[in-house]
Amino acid sequence: MSYLDNIRTFVRVYELGSMSAAGRDLRISPAVTSSRISQLEEHLSVRLFQRTTRSLAPTEQGKAFYGGACEILESVENAEAQVVNITENPKGALYVAAPLGVGRRLIAPQVPLFLKEYPEVLVRLRLTDRKVDLTTEGLDLSFFLGQPEDSNLRIRKIADVERVLVASPQYIEAHGKPASGDDLTGGKHECLNLRYPGATEFQWRLVTADGPRKFRVAGRYES
């Protein structure tokens, strides 16, 4: 049982002067009301109320505890109100990281629209193709290409990025058109080596008749 619920129940019993009335006010049964008071008394090792079959009155310890209990509940309500206000009216700095290409083409153009809707937020956008660490670098949000290795992150898929293979007409005329991904390996073609953020090796991931496959390609150029 929540200690805060016990305190809230105590305050209502104290103010209404009745277990049953407090229970109705909190929409709980008299048995639950009595149980919460008993748990609170056990925790404090004091009697908060003198109870008889016909009356209920706070003890001196109960009277002393009431003031502090009200302050606790008021503090919690104020804290909750502040959280709600920040949620409804966001403010402060938002630190965001994104790969260079994605950031320039997709993320950066959306920042002015975001700031128009949330004028009290300051966006710090970092564009980099290196692997970033949200925790150690103080980031609130980061965009990734591919699947981040850290499974403890809260991840949401934004969109699929379609990739296509291209070559100049002159290259096809000189080297021929590859029939499959296997034709791209073993130095048979001059491939552009791409190392995407988080990748540990140069490779192309292609969709084949058997599903997605990774091909280790080679070439004299890299990006």
Task: Answer whether 143's CB lies under 8 Å from 103's CB.
Answer: yes
Between 42 and 89, the higher pLDDT residue: 42
pLDDT, tens digit, 9 for 90 and up, residues 31-66: 999 999 999 999 999 999 998 877 899 999 999 999
Tokens (6 digits) for 196: 């995407």
What band does 69 get if pLDDT is binned at 50, 70 and 90? very high
Task: Answer whether 181's CB lies under 8 Å from 214's CB.
Answer: no
Q: Please give the Cα distance from 90 to 79 (Å, whole number).
A: 16
Give the rounded percent of residues in the chain with a pLDDT score beyond 90: 37
Per-residue model confidence (pLDDT) at position 151: 63
Three-state DSSP class for residue 99: coil
What band does 219 get if pLDDT is binned at 50, 70 and 90? confident
The secondary structure of residue 191, as a DSSP letter, is P
pLDDT, tens digit, 9 for 90 and up, residues 124-133: 999 988 888 8
Residue 95: pLDDT over 90: yes
Per-residue model confidence (pLDDT) at position 149: 66
Per-residue model confidence (pLDDT) at position 199: 53
Query: In the chain, what are the domains?
Result: 3-88 (1.10.10.10), 89-161 (3.40.190.10), 169-222 (no CATH)
Per-residue model confidence (pLDDT) at position 61: 95
pLDDT, tens digit, 9 for 90 and up, residues 169-199: 998 998 888 888 888 887 778 888 766 555 5
Residue 102: pLDDT over 80: yes
Three-state DSSP class for residue 124: strand
Tokens (6 digits) for 72: 């606790």
Q: Please give the Cα distance from 71 to 67 (Å, whole number).
A: 6
Per-residue model confidence (pLDDT) at position 193: 74
* First CA to last CA distance, the chain: 59
Q: What is the mean pLDDT of residues 88-93?
A: 82
Task: Answer whether 198's CB lies under 8 Å from 170's CB.
Answer: no
Residue 210: pLDDT over 90: no
Tokens (6 digits) for 213: 């496959």
Residues facing 51 on adjacent strands: 56
**43 to each of 3, 38, 61, 70, 219, how far by Cα in Å?**
9, 9, 13, 18, 72
pLDDT, tens digit, 9 for 90 and up, residues 145-178: 776 666 677 888 888 777 788 889 998 998 888 8
Per-residue model confidence (pLDDT) at position 92: 84
